[in-house]
Structure 1
Amino acid sequence: MTTFKKYQGYIVYGGITLLFLLLILIATFGTAPYSGTAFELGSFSVQWYAVFILSGIISASVLAYLELTRYHQDPNILWDGLLVFVPSAVIGARLWYVLFNLDKYNGDILRMLDVTEGGLAIHGAIIVVVLGLILFAKKKKIDYFFVLDMVGPGFLIGQIFGRWGNFMNRELYGPVIDNLNWLPPFIRDNMNIGGAFRHPTFLYESSWNLLGLILILVFRRKKQVKIGDIISFYLVWYGIGRIPTEILRMNSGVPEPLMMFNIPTSIATSVGLIIAGLAIYLYRTLKVKNRIAYNDYGRKAVLFDLDGTLLDTIDLIYKNITATFKVHFPNKKLTDEELKAFVGPTLDESFGWYEKDNKKLQAMIKTYREINEVNHKVKVESFENALTVLKTLKEHDYLIGIVSSKIHKFVKLGLEQNDLMQYVDVIIGSDESPKHKPDPLPINMALERLNVSPSNAAYVGDHPNDILAAKAANVKSIGVGYSVHYEALLGAKPDVVVDNLEKLLYIF
């Protein structure tokens, strides 16, 4: 099994290649010109174009499944996507064709919907899928550009296969060429159309897409390839390759069926794809700070708040607050609700409710930290199963981070006292981030240091600010049921609530 996993990529690539060659061999068995019909069942016939396209979809799906499992994603995402986007892509391709051929149908809706008479434009399929995946990825909580990076190679595979369906139909060819002696007879003879050899533009485009696919498969494991780069490459590569083949087809003597402002639609759309690919690449390179390498997408992380989540420090906090108020507000007796409010926010925020003078505020914080350092020397306890959970998560290759409203020094001290520090990969304390929960910045900082995508991360906390920060950072939000802010926590609508840390192991 281990050997199979090691070589499964090569096995899949080899299987797809074998299927592709086998289809060509079967389809071209006999003498050219070849029939566009693969087989007939009574009055029902199946065209080779459909066989090639369907085989391309199946091959692309197998490749996508391999990627999803490689990066520990739910493979049901693929099956749900196929159910939605295969018919959507066909509809999009048909609508794109019809949109620029309205005169041909004279308002006949049934003919517009009838794909059996031909007329599909791949650009329409690309546009529908790319736009539709925005909502799909959001619903499935998977990175949109990671999905597009899987779809890009799938499009190439579909186009590699599909162009051989055009070959069987003897369509989409170029102008007359003196000879095709450089090609094997089965291609050369089928390109003899109307008594003259024609440029095999199907072969040019299929070969160009095959080269693009090989480049993606070779380079996408490199650290330099970030999420979003593959779809950018695909859009530019396909657009560049499509333009010269379309120019050849325009000189074939067959009218260009799709026109946009007297410009061939396929060329105009190809230019649009090139611009879109460059725009995506430049935007993500210049504007997106935490650009995850495509090959690192499988990295997973669970981030934790500290006080009230991993460590049972509530009594310690109450003790420290009470002692601090005895120094700075000796006549103020805090109620239980007022004490509870100190659990979660930073000291600047919570002390700021009582002291508006910044100099006096900083003096209060200094007093608190001095008292806390003394009291902290008496070991604070972790919540039940905290050690087991962090150890188990680590054994299952999860990265672990702490994002706390406490300063780094005391976060580390509490973790070390409970033997938890050995499992923690990153700490973001309140002294390391200029903004604090519910702002997502501290969580984003942790993810950036861990090189983990938000869609592969979760944040566990006991305060509503923890949940709001997690949602703003687009990570899974998990609340703990033993929170002293339980009602307010539920009001923030976490994705999941666990009554014991051990329950996390049923989620991850």
Structure 2
Amino acid sequence: MNLLALNPIAFHFGNLQVRWYGILMATGVLLATLMAIQEGKKRQVISDDFIDFLLWAVPFSFVGARAYYVIFEWSYYANHLDQVIAIWDGGIAIYGGLLTGLIILLIFCYHRMLPPLLMLDIITPGVLAAQILGRWGNFMNQEAHGSQTSLAFLQGLHLPDFIVKQMYIDGHYYQPTFLYESFFNLIGLIIILSLRHRKNFFKQGEVFASYLIWYGIVRFFVEGMRTDSLYIFGVIRVSQALSLILVLFAVALIIIRRKEGKSRWYLDGSGLKYPYER
């Protein structure tokens, strides 16, 4: 046990333990929502749409993230059905939450008569920011780390001392894969935010596609370093396979959008009168 490790429990509320992981995730959701609302005002989408979407997307995404994990660990949960909903013991997958959120968004846009690609463009930078923040929840829990390494290696990365100490788990030091993913996604977020307001640069759907490409590549390489991956047939890492699929899908989306001469530019917004009536 590492006595110098940070406490994953932020505080107690009666008998309830409030963990830093939960606080960081909630902060990430709030940040993503505020970013979407702010950008939506410039693209003729009112704030109520993002708030209403959030109320549907968040609970369903948590269910999707858990279901995704349980499905790929079914060999265990088939014999432990009472633990299927035990998310307090860990076991949620970001890709499951993202895919569920995407389905909810498409349904939501259909019923609200909103352009889905534009909505994805507006929302995904905030989602990436939330993912960057959320990985620090893994750091607090000392999970989602890489393989065993040495103190000298970690010190050679010139990391702050509190990160090095937190990577000392059960008598060994481990690769801070949470940090690699968080850092490179931060670079991707900065690039996307710096480019999305350039005139005639992104077609609608291409901010979303850029997010998929960047995150997919980062996740592919980071996943290859992790020791807790989900597998298909015990050989293929699920997140690596899905990352490749999403990158290819995003590239195809960009090619298709570019071939469509009438595709709207991202800066054109929704084309709806703001504020608009239902």
TM over 0.5, yes or no?
Answer: yes
In the alignment, which residue of structure 2 is the partner of 1:348?
none
Question: Shift of the alpha carbon at 1:87?
Answer: 0.5
Matches within 5 A, 1:259-274: 259-261=231-233, 262-274=235-247
2:220 corresponds, among 232, 235, 243, to: 243
Question: Shift of the alpha carbon at 1:78?
Answer: 0.8
Distance in 2 (CA, whole Å) between partners of 1:140 and 1:216 is: 27
Matches within 5 A, 1:462-477: none
Q: Which moved more, 1:152-161 or 1:171-180?
A: 171-180
Q: TM-score, normalised by structure 1?
A: 0.51
Structure 1, residues 354-377: CA drift from partner, whole Å, max 9, x if none? xxxxxxxxxxxxxxxxxxxxxxxx
In the alignment, which residue of structure 2 is the partner of 1:284?
257
Residue type matched to 1:231 in 2? F
Question: Shift of the alpha carbon at 1:109?
Answer: 4.2
Q: Is contact 2:117–2:204 with CA below 8 Å preserved after alignment?
A: yes
In the alignment, which residue of structure 1 is the partner of 2:30?
58
Q: Is contact 1:137–1:144 with CA below 8 Å preserved after alignment?
A: yes
Residue type matched to 1:237 in 2? W
In the alignment, which residue of structure 2 is the partner of 1:233?
210
In the alignment, which residue of structure 2 is the partner of 1:190?
166
Distance in 1 (CA, whole Å) between partners of 2:172 and 2:256 is: 48
Question: Shift of the alpha carbon at 1:506?
Answer: 9.7
Structure 1, residues 412-449: CA drift from partner, whole Å, max 9, x if none? xxxxxxxxxxxxxxxxxxxxxxxxxxxxxxxxxxxxxx
In the alignment, which residue of structure 2 is the partner of 1:92?
64
1:218 corresponds, among 194, 200, 210, to: 194
Q: What SS class does the counterpart of residue 249 from structure 1 fall into?
A: coil
Matches within 5 A, 1:34-53: 34-53=6-25
Question: Shift of the alpha carbon at 1:42?
Answer: 2.4
**Which 4+ residue blocks in structure 1 deviate beyond 3 angstroms?**
107-110, 505-508
Asked if residue 155 in structure 1 is aligned to residue 107 in structure 2, the reply is no
Corresponding residue pairs, total:
269
Matches within 5 A, 1:273-422: 273-286=246-259, 288-297=260-269, 300=271
Distance in 2 (CA, whole Å) between partners of 1:169 and 1:91 is: 21
Question: Shift of the alpha carbon at 1:119?
Answer: 0.5
Residue type matched to 2:165 in 1? D
Question: Shift of the alpha carbon at 1:52?
Answer: 0.5
In the alignment, which residue of structure 1 is the partner of 2:99?
127
Q: Is contact 2:145–2:178 with CA below 8 Å preserved after alignment?
A: yes
1:172 corresponds, among 137, 144, 165, to: 144
Q: What SS class does the counterpart of residue 39 from structure 1 fall into?
A: strand
Q: CA RMSD in A?
A: 2.0
Distance in 1 (CA, whole Å) between partners of 2:136 and 2:30 is: 16
Q: Where does the alignment leave 5 or more consecutive residues of structure 1 unmatched? A: 1-30, 301-455, 458-504
Distance in 2 (CA, whole Å) between partners of 1:190 and 1:107 is: 33
Question: Shift of the alpha carbon at 1:289?
Answer: 2.5
Matches within 5 A, 1:64-103: 64-103=36-75
Larger Rg: 1
Return closer, same or farther for 1:290/1:107 CA change in 2, 3 Å cut-off.
Answer: farther
Q: TM-score, normalised by structure 2?
A: 0.91
Q: What SS class does the counterpart of residue 45 from structure 1 fall into?
A: strand
Question: Shift of the alpha carbon at 1:171?
Answer: 0.8
Structure 1, residues 112-159: CA drift from partner, whole Å, max 9, x if none? 122111110011111111222222112111110011112211221121
Distance in 2 (CA, whole Å) between partners of 1:279 and 1:42 is: 52
Q: Is contact 1:260–1:268 with CA below 8 Å preserved after alignment?
A: no
Distance in 2 (CA, whole Å) between partners of 1:115 and 1:64 is: 28
Distance in 2 (CA, whole Å) between partners of 1:211 and 1:232 is: 16
Residue type matched to 2:223 in 1? E
Distance in 1 (CA, whole Å) between partners of 2:137 and 2:276 is: 48
Residue type matched to 1:232 in 2? A
Residue type matched to 2:180 in 1? Y
Structure 1, residues 226-268: CA drift from partner, whole Å, max 9, x if none? 1111110111111100111111114xxxx53x21132111111
Q: Which has the higher contact order (CA 8 A, sep 6+)?
A: 2
Question: Shift of the alpha carbon at 1:282?
Answer: 1.6
Question: Shift of the alpha carbon at 1:281?
Answer: 1.3
Q: Where does the alignment leave 5 or more consecutive residues of structure 2 unmatched? A: none
Distance in 1 (CA, whole Å) between partners of 2:142 and 2:276 is: 56
Question: Shift of the alpha carbon at 1:186?
Answer: 0.9
Q: Percent identity?
A: 35
